[in-house]
Amino acid sequence: MTNWSLEKILSSVHNDIERRLAAVRETFAHPTTKGDASEQVWLELFQRYLPRRYQAERAHVVDSNGVFSDQIDVVIFDRQYSPFIFDFESQKIVAAESVYAVFEAKQTATAVYVAAAQDKVQSVRRLHRTSLPIPHAGGTYPPKPVPPILGGLLTFESDWNPPLGESLRAALDGGYGERRLDIGCIAAHGVFSCDTSGCSTAIAKPKAAIAFLLELIARLQESATVPMIDVRAYAKWLVS
């Protein structure tokens, strides 16, 4: 009989994330340094545990019309079928068609940070995405509809009391359409979830980070594969 415990394994993943986020908050005094360190904790979680078809980076997103998003703390994008647009000295730019999800990462949840996350998500969702017919042995499949891009907020703590109460819900309900936050994690307290009818779920979970990770993977699975990108649409920006 094995002595392994799945409960303990999953708990250890959450405990590591919560401990590292707490250490960032206690150790770093400079707000920018603290913010960068918090982002890195979440990025490393995704880079380590998401399936290999996905990649997570801090990046800008660009479309074939040359429109750029804001800088996004965490972009989860396809690396199996989509090219990088630019990758140099830690500055990454990815094609809009490759994006599955985008997140703002902060130390704490506040109304200001929720609104900032909504703005960041909107800056990505408003971008144009191409989709080409897909060739196969018997001909071609029609272009795949572009999937919705997930958006959310990742924090360690919440400035509200209770952390997942009506104040959080009211702030989340302020974003709709392209500004909606679909899912998020307040690692010390729980997770939240929204849909087109509103933000009806904010659940206190003792192991919020791992609960969020598993829910995110499930939602990425539902998104299936990104559309076939029209690479030539980007090539039009080449000049002699």
142-185: pLDDT as tens digits:
888 999 999 999 999 999 999 988 999 999 988 888 999 999 99
Active-site residues: which are they? 73, 104, 106
More confident residue, 194 or 123: 123
Q: Give the predicted TM-score (pTM) of the model.
A: 0.92
What's the order of all strands across the beta sheet hosting 183-186? 84-88, 91-95, 54-62, 72-78, 99-105, 150-155, 183-186, 190-195, 198-204
Contact between 100 and 148 (Cβ < 8 Å): no
177-221: pLDDT as tens digits:
899 999 999 999 999 988 877 776 677 777 899 999 999 999 999
